[in-house]
Amino acid sequence: MSTYEKTRAWCRPADLPEERLALFRQRLSGGLTRKGSDMEPEEQIYHEAMIASIRSEMNRIGGFISIPYAVFLTDRAGVILELVCSSPELREELIRTEFGTGISLCRQHSGLNAVSLAMEMDCIGVVRGDEHSDPAFAEWNCICAPLQADGRTYGYVDISFHKKEQIEFAIPFVQQIAENITGKWMERNPGIREHRLESRFQHYRLSAREQDVARQWLLEKSALHISNELGISEGTVRNVLKNIYSKMRVSDRLQFIKKLTGDID
């Protein structure tokens, strides 16, 4: 991290040391297209969750933004996953200028922009008009916030307005959007929740039968209900639960639930 003001939660190009700013001025290698098939399954789950969340978030608040805007959602490498605009015409214009999904906004491919600055400084990046390396962004003021949770950065969200608009007011707004996205997709998204549960099952080495019982027990179903649901005896259910408790080192359902939904000990 450079020596920009530590009391500020955002940075601008002027906060970069000259040697690091020089890296953004190097010859660009052009946009990078990344296909879904190039991703690991876990990464694909997170991406789908982030895309669903940004769509939901902008549907909720987009009508309250009175000026034209464009929202770029990228993965942690700066590759655009989703583009949300205030109008279909603006979206088409950006896609024509090669700012659609699959295009990289990282420093190596697009030089200086709010996404690459946020990636470099690990905080909200603010880049105005002519500060951008790419002339296509010269008419835009942009703010980008990292999407962070559990000590990890999962992606970035950038909101761009015309350069005539003041953007300082939007910095806390963008930060709130980022926090809403991570809160929603990390805590509520079905795909993320299922992935986490599967990871816990693997961590505790639960067999397929134990996983079936554990899912029902997690929903606070009775042993009798589980036996009817799975077509096994109630006694078998209780024996399976004993094995689960032993593997997870818990003694009651509350501890069981906490270990499957909270931090792994």
CA distance 82 to 69: 14
CB contact at 8 A, 216 and 223: no
Q: pLDDT per residue over 52-70, tens digit each?
A: 999 999 999 988 899 999 9
What is the predicted pLDDT for the residue at 3?
37
The predicted structure's pLDDT at residue 23: 86
Task: Convert 100-130 to b/e letters by CB count within 10 Å (16 or more is b).
Answer: bbebbbbbbbbbbbbbbbbbbbebbbbbbee
What pLDDT does residue 38 have?
A: 59
Residues 6+ away with beta carbon under 8 Å from 127: 12, 13, 112, 113, 114, 117, 137, 141, 142
Span 149-170, average pLDDT: 89
Instruction: Tell me: pLDDT of 36 over 80.
Output: no
What digits encode the pLDDT tens for the residues 10-27? 999 999 888 888 888 775
Strands 152-162 and 124-128: unpaired
Mean pLDDT of 177-183: 90
Q: What pLDDT shows up at residue 261?
A: 85
Q: What is the pLDDT of residue 37?
A: 44
pLDDT at 7: 43
- Kindly report the pTM of this predicted structure: 0.79
pLDDT at 250: 96
Percent of the chain whose pLDDT exceeds 90:
65
Question: Strands 124-128, 10-11: parallel, antiparallel or unpaired by DSSP?
Answer: parallel
**Mapped to the 3 state alphabet, what secondary structure does 82-95 carry?**
EEEECCHHHHHHHH
CA distance 106 to 148: 17
Q: Give pLDDT, residue 28.
A: 60
**Contact of 130 with 18, CB cutoff 8 Å:** no
